[in-house]
Amino acid sequence: MVKSDQQLTAPPFPLPVLSPTINSVESAQADGDLAIALRSLSAWYGSFQALRDVTMAVLRQRITAIIGPSGCGKSTLIRCLNRMNDLIPGFRLTGQVLFDGQDIYSKRVDPVDVRRRIGMVFQKPNPFPKSIYENAAFGPRINGYVGNLDEIVERALLLAALWDEVKDKDKLHKSALTLSGGQQQRLCIARALAVEPEVILMDEPCSALDPVATLKIEDLMRELAQNYTIVIVTHNMQQAARVADSTAVLMMNEDRAGELIEYGPTREVFTNPKEKRTEDYITGRFG
Amino acid sequence: MHQDVALGRLSRVRRPGPLQARLRRGREAVVYGVLLLCALVSVFTTLAIVAALLEEIWAFFDEVSLIEFFTDTQWTPLFRDQHFGVLPLLSATLLMSLGAMLVALPLGLAAAIFLSEYAPAGLRAVVKPVLEVLAGIPTVVYGYFALQFITPEIVRPLFTEAGPFNAASASIAMGIMTLPLVSSLSEDAMRAVPQTLREGAYGLGANRFEVALRVVVPAALSGIMAAAILAASRAIGETMIVTIAAGNMPNLSWNPLEGMQAMTAYIVQVSLGDTPRGTIEYSTIFAVGMLLFLLTLLLNIAAQWLLHRFREVYE
Ligand SMILES: Nc1ncnc2c1ncn2[C@@H]1O[C@H](COP(=O)(O)OP(=O)(O)O)[C@@H](O)[C@H]1O
Ligand SMILES: [Mg+2]
């Protein structure tokens, strides 16, 4: 079932994304454009199978969107990418999640290292009940960063487009809970960036925000995609169409397990889907 | 369908006529009156007790000035050379309670962190009730445990100069006694910290210990502080353990290896002795009791305030 690295086969979908040479996990890897490869990933909560046989590639410094009806396993899938599901009792998976060619679920890998390199932003803004500064400094502190903490914090807040709103000395040291929802979410992005990850996972990062705050975060994501690999789960198809380079569509099969039914460049998926079910979903006839 | 069933049941109940309605209102008025009377009786009793106490305390401070009470370093109301300085009793109470907290806080907090952040649900279901059994052991048992075991087997082998009665062994026993209070309340506070905060920290590369210490404990801090204060207040009011293990000699000293008399122990000594009522010697216990009461009242108010604040954080 689990294949070795040498036997990497082309995924069951074409990948004419941006570079014409990329049409398989293999060539993406050869180009150094492959950040994460999922191979035959299945996942269970106890006896309930939430994901079935998902194979897909996440390209470096691109935005990959995962869309699909609610309950189809989008969160489960994205949380497999940084071993966040390890925290859930009864969770198990088969298949591989290859990050830089290494299976992050291999016994030799420490999940704490994985999460340091693959950061996460959650559905509901969840800043710590500490000051804005301490939130941004949290990751560097626990990871024993040397260097000027003030600079790291400022850089992270600048990257997250929050610095201008909080740069006053007394604002910076106020509780993060005094910020608006959108600001809190950008603080959570800054908090993740401060650890200098390579990949940022976002699970419906805008679902608790108003349209203006949502657009701000989308701009920010486009900005960040120049240097980071971003995976975003969204139930909002317009959002996927606006921000993502490639889009994956998940849907439940008859056993309620999530399956990848379509994956490709966002424009292709939205204008010329291979699957009837994708078309139905996108045009609102389903889900 | 569901509604039909509910309506069917309703329609079988006969609507009360005007007479029944008046009867029911009458019955309710009677119940109201009886309950009010009960409430008033308990309020009145409390007030009467306070009044009686105040009378005794008044009599005491008529003869002994507040300044002497709080500055004299000797407490010898039962001797010929009478001194009424409460400091030896107060310091003994505070020292032994502090010692108890030195035992109960680290152990209780560690137990709470283990139960809330590490233990799988099955283990927690076993450990938690076992810990709580500790809280149900009568304090007189702890007292003899301190006197017969902690003092001869632990304190005196380690510190040969320790006496048969000493503050250290009372502190250790009180620490064990209050440990479940600390761990149980702290654990409640820690489990109330939303899972999303933990996930946020794990997502930044924190390990379990860092999540517990840097996110969960700070977020639950006011609840943990309230637990600590309630435990301290229990230790301050604790009577049996200090009476049995620390002895009955008023002693102004910070050395935990010496015997000393706590405020509660003094009250027991006089209440059980043959000191005649109405004398100044007898009224000392009301002055000491009042001080004890104020101390624990203050601590309880502080704890309530903290608990209230901590509940507000996530709502
Ligand atoms: N911790 C869990 N324990 C058991 N089942 C879960 C758990 N989390 C999610 N599920 C189930 O897995 C399926 C996929 O959930 P999820 O990945 O959250 O979907 P989505 O994010 O697409 O809405 C759902 O049927 C959900 O009920
Ligand atoms: Mg979800």
Please write the tens of the pLDDT for every residue from B54-99: 888 998 999 999 999 999 999 998 888 999 999 999 999 999 999 9
Q: Order the strands of the A48-59 sheet from edge to edge.
A: A102-103, A91-99, A34-45, A48-59, A258-265, A246-252, A63-67, A229-233, A199-203, A118-121
Q: Report the pLDDT value the prediction gives residue A13, as an integer from 0 to 100.
A: 41
- Non-local (6+) Cβ contacts of B147 within 8 A are B164, B165, B169, B244, B245
Largest CA distance in chain B: 88
Distances (CA, A) of B1 to A18, A127, B10, B11, B129: 58, 46, 14, 15, 44
**DSSP string for residues in B192-230:** TS-HHHHHHHHHTT--HHHIIIIIIHHHTHHHHHHHHHH
Sign of CA dihedral A143, A149, A154, A155: negative
Half-sphere exposure of B56 (CA within 13 A, CB side): 19
Residue of chain A whose alpha carbon sits nearest to that of B117: A87
CATH number (1.10.10.10, 3.30.43.10, 2.40.160.100, 1.10.3720.10) of B87-309 reads 1.10.3720.10
Touching B: A residues 65-94, CB under 8 Å:
82, 84, 87, 89
- pLDDT at residue A62 greater than cutoff 70: yes
* Short-list A214, A258, A210, CA closest to A67: A258
Q: Report the pLDDT value the prediction gives residue A286, as an integer from 0 to 100.
A: 62
Domain residue ranges in chain B: 2-63, 87-309
CATH number (3.40.50.720, 2.40.50.140, 3.40.50.300, 3.30.70.100) of A19-124+200-282 reads 3.40.50.300
Report yes or no: A71 and A252 within 8 Å, Cβ to Cβ.
Answer: yes
CA distance A33 to B66: 82
Report yes or no: A156 and A112 within 8 Å, Cβ to Cβ.
Answer: no
CA distance A275 to A68: 13
Residue B121 host element (H or E): helix B121-136
pLDDT below 50 — which residues of chain B?
1, 3-8, 10, 314-315
Q: Report which protein residue has its CA nearest ligand 1's atom 6.
A: A45
Of the candidates B198, B205, B218, the beta carbon closest to that of A112 is on B205
pLDDT tens, residue by residue, A6-34 = 333 344 444 434 333 333 445 555 556 88
Q: Do B204 and A119 touch (CB under 8 A)?
A: yes
Residue of chain B whose alpha carbon sits nearest to that of A114: B205
Report yes or no: B169 and B155 within 8 Å, Cβ to Cβ.
Answer: yes
- Our answer on whether the CB atom of A92 is closer than 6 Å to any ligand 1 atom is no
Say whether residue A124 is in contact with chain B using an 8 A CB cutoff: yes
- pLDDT at residue A198 greater than cutoff 50: yes
Q: Report which protein residue has its CA nearest ligand 1's atom 1.
A: A88
Distances (CA, A) of A188 to A66, A74, A157, A278: 20, 20, 10, 32
Domain residue ranges in chain A: 19-124+200-282
Report yes or no: A196 and A119 within 8 Å, Cβ to Cβ.
Answer: no
Q: Report the pLDDT value the prediction gives residue B315, as an integer from 0 to 100.
A: 40
> Parallel, antiparallel, or unpaired: how do β-strands A63-67 and A246-252 relate?
parallel
pLDDT tens, residue by residue, A218-248 = 999 999 999 999 999 998 899 999 999 999 9
Q: Report the pLDDT value the prediction gives residue A3, as an integer from 0 to 100.
A: 38
Dig out the tokens for B144 from the structure.
């003899």
- pLDDT at residue A255 greater than cutoff 70: yes
Say whether residue B188 is in contact with chain A using an 8 A CB cutoff: no
